[in-house]
Chain A
């Protein structure tokens, strides 16, 4: 069975980090420019639960 719980935890942590205003092998491939794009996009568009 695919481990969707681990995927959930990864997505939760990634979204939270990128929107904070600040899977190891997968992350090791991340391009710094693209992380910056994601950080900027989340800063602009992210809507929190309850907002």
Chain B
């Protein structure tokens, strides 16, 4: 996130040239947000070095109705990908736009023929607009254990229609392991691991369980350090997924104002570097 705290936390990493690739949520500025020059310079630098990946947030690829807003979103994406070079483009699994809501939280969908049809159509539009490989990120949110168990195969069917890739978010996997008691290997193996081209690493938080069915609910809030469980999942995923090209650290802006939090972020980055060295040595 191009915020002041993120700049302070990462400046040293960029200066030491330890950041090999960058991901830009290219629709971040489409609501009128102004990005500081330091961030734009970085984005362009990584783009020119063929090391920039694009990540859409607001397309809502599994909305059943193709809206005017989505049509305009795709037109803006087309312009963005014409003017700036990206290696590939991803989006979140799920729908957020429907009824009276144009932006919301990405929610899971019934994994049936109707959802498959609208999802395939939207991915084709996305691939056409960006002119590069497109992929989907697994969703942390699930309405039920069946949502959790079906998501991997369903994403595989969707991305196969455009020869696309899976963006495997390991904190999202951790959320589902924590919330639904499924084993990490069972869950990881339900995904098309040979199609994983990128992984995301991040932290999150816990919120109370309203039902009392579990001690707490794990949430994908990106506002804290990376838990050890996610590092463990990263080491496992790097072994199981033969085609990973990008490892991306995510952190919500304005959540690292203390020097301690910024230092912890760099420590987490270093931990991931060590895991990569160990796995690929």
Binding site for B on A (CB under 8 A): 2-8, 10-16, 18-19, 23, 26, 29-38, 40-42, 44-49, 51
Q: For the complex, count residues of B whose C-beta is within 8 A of A.
A: 39
Is B104 a contact of A41 with CB atoms below 8 Å? yes
Q: Complex formed: what's the CA distance from A46 to B144 in Å? A: 22
Which of these, B100, B113, B141, contacts A48 with CB under 8 Å? B100
* Cβ B113 vs Cβ A2 within 8 A: yes
Q: What is the bound-complex CA distance between A20 and B132, given in angstroms? A: 39
Q: Which residues of A contact B64 (CB under 8 A)?
A: 4-5, 7-8, 10-11
Assess the A19–B144 pair: CB atoms within 8 A. Answer: no
Q: Which of B85-93, B182-190, B206-214, B234-242 participates in binding chain A?
A: B206-214
- CB < 8 Å neighbour of A49 from B101, B109, B113, B145: B101
Is B40's CB within 8 Å of the partner chain A? no
**Contact residue among B97, B115, B142 (Cβ-Cβ distance under 8 Å from A7):** B115
B210 and A33 contact, CB distance less than 8 A = yes
- A15 pairs with B113, CB closer than 8 A: no
Given A11-B63, A13-B99, A16-B99, A33 contacting B143 (CB threshold 8 A): no
Residue numbers in A under 8 Å from B101 (CB-CB): 15-16, 19, 42, 46-49
**Cβ contacts A to B, 25 pairs, < 8 Å:** A2-B116, A7-B109, A12-B65, A15-B101, A19-B100, A26-B143, A29-B143, A29-B145, A31-B142, A31-B143, A31-B145, A31-B213, A32-B210, A33-B210, A34-B141, A37-B141, A37-B207, A38-B141, A41-B104, A45-B103, A45-B104, A46-B101, A48-B100, A49-B102, A51-B102
Task: Select which of B105, B117, B118, B146 is within 8 A of A42 by beta carbon.
Answer: B105
Q: Is B262 an interface residue (CB 8 A)?
A: no
Q: Within 8 Å CB of B105, what residues of A?
A: 38, 41-42, 44-46
Q: Which of A3, A7, A32, A38 contacts B211 (CB 8 A)?
A: A32
Are B99's CB and A29's CB within 8 A? no
Q: Which residues of A contact B102 (CB under 8 A)?
A: 47-49, 51
Q: Is B191 an interface residue (CB 8 A)?
A: no
- State the Cβ distance, B224 to closest chain A Cβ, in Å: 17
Partner of B98, one of A4, A15, A44: A15
Contact partners of A45 in chain B: CB under 8 A: 103-105
Contact (Cβ within 8 A) A16 B142? no
A3: chain B residues at CB < 8 Å are 114
CB contacts (< 8 Å) of A34 on chain B: these are 141-144, 179, 217
Within 8 A of A (CB), among B91-148: 95, 97-105, 107, 109-110, 112-118, 141-147
- B179–A11 touching, CB < 8 Å: no
Contact B146 A29 (CB under 8 A): yes
Task: Give complex CA distance A4, B115 in Å.
Answer: 7
Task: Please tell me if the beta carbons of A12 and B114 are within 8 angstroms of each other in the complex.
Answer: no
Distance in Å: Cβ of A12 to nearest Cβ of chain B: 3
